[in-house]
Amino acid sequence: MHKKTPITSLRQKFIYGFVITLWMALGAFFFQYIMGIKPCPLCLFQRNIALLTSLIFLVALIHNPKHWTRRLYAFMTLTSSLVGMVFSARHTWLHAQVDPHTSDCGGPGLDLLMDRLPTTVFIERVFNGKIDCIDTVTTFLQLPLPAWIFLLYTFLFVYSGLILIRNR
């Protein structure tokens, strides 16, 4: 009879990372499709980064890496978490700085700009809030959702950093 081997602590770390990032992405889908809140371009970027990070954690979980590949996966999740932190920090800052009653929500739509602008210009425009309409600021415990996402990405950054530097 085969003995079932317990899940290693490293695999548990990848499971936890996968669950957290999947929860972040599913939360974004919940707000869009159940609550009816239309996501802004920065929200979409943050959601896609969460999905990418979730995919990295899932692949690492399935692969069950040893030695240096564990560090490679941790570095990839560390990097994607850092990018998510940057976008969510910018989003939080925009919400704090811009008056939603005077923000300009006009202009061409996101799809049109994505089709017509080079990728770098498109990302710059989204990051600068030029096509971001912040009519709806959803809060939880008196913090806007981008601030919560920033806190989650910060946690994931530290978490991935610990996986990167620890031996086991």
> What is the CATH classification number for the domain harbouring 108?
1.20.1550.10
Evaluate whether residue 65 is within a structural domain: yes
Per-residue pLDDT tens digits for 25-42: 888 888 888 888 777 778
Per-residue pLDDT tens digits for 86-111: 988 888 877 776 655 544 444 455 56
Q: Provide the domain count of the chain.
A: 1
Evaluate whether residue 2 is within a structural domain: no
Q: Which of 81-85, 97-101, 137-141 has the highest mean pLDDT?
A: 81-85
Q: What is the DSSP letter of 34?
A: I
47: pLDDT strictly greater than 70: yes
* Dist. CA 120–CA 143, nearest whole Å: 30
Residue 101's H or E segment, with its range, is none
Which pLDDT does position 114 carry in this prediction? Answer: 63
**pTM for the whole structure:** 0.74
Evaluate whether residue 1 is within a structural domain: no
Which pLDDT does position 102 carry in this prediction? Answer: 47
* Dist. CA 133–CA 42, nearest whole Å: 10
* Dist. CA 123–CA 69, nearest whole Å: 31
What is the helix, strand, coil percentage profile of the chain, to 5? 70, 0, 30
Evaluate whether residue 158 is within a structural domain: yes
Structure tokens at 48: 């896609």
Structure tokens at 51: 């999905």
Evaluate whether residue 3 is within a structural domain: no
In terms of residue numbers, what domain contains 66? 9-165
